[in-house]
Structure 1
């Protein structure tokens, strides 16, 4: 059975952890899926906190329709904190979760899941300093390279990227070329 290419949204703002965007993004594209960068504004130049990579947002969160996407990836670093106050970003994540679509968040990415009130009774991991924040939001912090709880995939740090990427690609399936 041939699978169709999936559309994967990347929620991004400035100061993202460079490798946590670059490596999953390249893996999604390499596996035949479409990667769409959603930011606070369309056409914004977004630069990683280490300055090794930058991307231009394809859409603003206000324009993006969760129904158009099969999964969402939330890179860490400082990016999630810049997105926390966007009701459009939070609604996007909530709708993706309601539809049971894959939500993959690494490092500080789970801050957005907490803000979207998706953590109650869920198992996940994140940047270790977020342990209390996750527990306060009703989640169960598990200190592992990757934690999968239904449609949520979470990882801690850049060192966990291979596991994070593998799990995300596995959930998407292989696209037909």
Structure 2
């Protein structure tokens, strides 16, 4: 069973990923881990403290990561090891899912250069912050959720849609669908 990793950093938007991780763990029966640049606790947007299970450097050594989920949060610098992990997982065609401002990390890693994506991070916001735009805007789609291969992106207010796109990709509810289909078939065959 592969691990689903969540990158957490100071002021990350925890509400955007709690539904996804609740169902991934409890329905999908997958191992979920939080990951930070170091093992120090961070405070989310909601004011809750989160302590990472592993560092990005630790994650680079793992060979059983099934996917990486990146919640939104402030626009900030990106450390080299996170870029390396994103590129590694992309080359392995593992799920890369990012919501709200989270796609900034995929953009800086070059993952969005050949894929359609969405984000809550507007051009106007980037200009107001005075930072380099991490996004190849020619691939931007004005949609709630965009899935392009193994890459899933969403705007922040679409966290439920984002979660269900992840569930579909990972087959979280596949057993329930198969059971329902079989039950329906059995009823129709009577």
Give TM-score, length-normalised by structure 1.
Answer: 0.84
Question: Do the aligned residues in 2 keep the contact of 1:104 with 1:152 (CA within 8 Å)?
Answer: yes
Q: How far 1:59 sits from its partner (Å)? A: 0.5
Structure 2 counterpart of 1:48: 44
**1: CA distance, partners of 2:103 / 2:16:** 13
Question: Do the aligned residues in 1 keep the contact of 2:2 with 2:64 (CA within 8 Å)?
Answer: no
Structure 2 counterpart of 1:105: 98
Which of the two has higher C-alpha Rg? 2
Q: How far 1:85 sits from its partner (Å)? A: 2.8
Structure 2 counterpart of 1:71: 67
Aligned residues: 165
**2: CA distance, partners of 1:166 / 1:101:** 17
Structure 2 counterpart of 1:20: 16
Q: 1 or 2, which has the higher helix percentage?
A: 2
Question: Do the aligned residues in 1 keep the contact of 2:41 with 2:49 (CA within 8 Å)?
Answer: yes
Aligned pairs (5 A) from 1:24-173: 24-31=20-27, 32-42=29-39, 44-51=40-47, 53-64=48-59, 65-78=61-74, 81=76, 84-129=77-122, 133=133, 135=135, 137=136, 140-157=139-156, 159-173=157-171
**2: CA distance, partners of 1:45 / 1:156:** 26
User: For residues 10-30 of structure 1, what are the alpha-carbon distances to aligned partners after superposition, in whole Å with 9 as ceiling and x for unaligned?
Assistant: 011110013013232222212
Q: In structure 1, list runs of 5 or more residues that go unmatched.
A: none
Q: In structure 2, list runs of 5 or more residues that go unmatched.
A: 127-132, 176-190
Q: How far 1:134 sits from its partner (Å)? A: 5.7
Structure 1 counterpart of 2:186: none
User: For residues 20-74 of structure 1, what are the alpha-carbon distances to aligned partners after superposition, in whole Å with 9 as ceiling and x for unaligned?
Assistant: 13232222212211111110112x21211231x3321001111113522001100
**2: CA distance, partners of 1:34 / 1:139:** 36
Question: Do the aligned residues in 2 keep the contact of 1:124 with 1:139 (CA within 8 Å)?
Answer: no
**2: CA distance, partners of 1:112 / 1:6:** 22
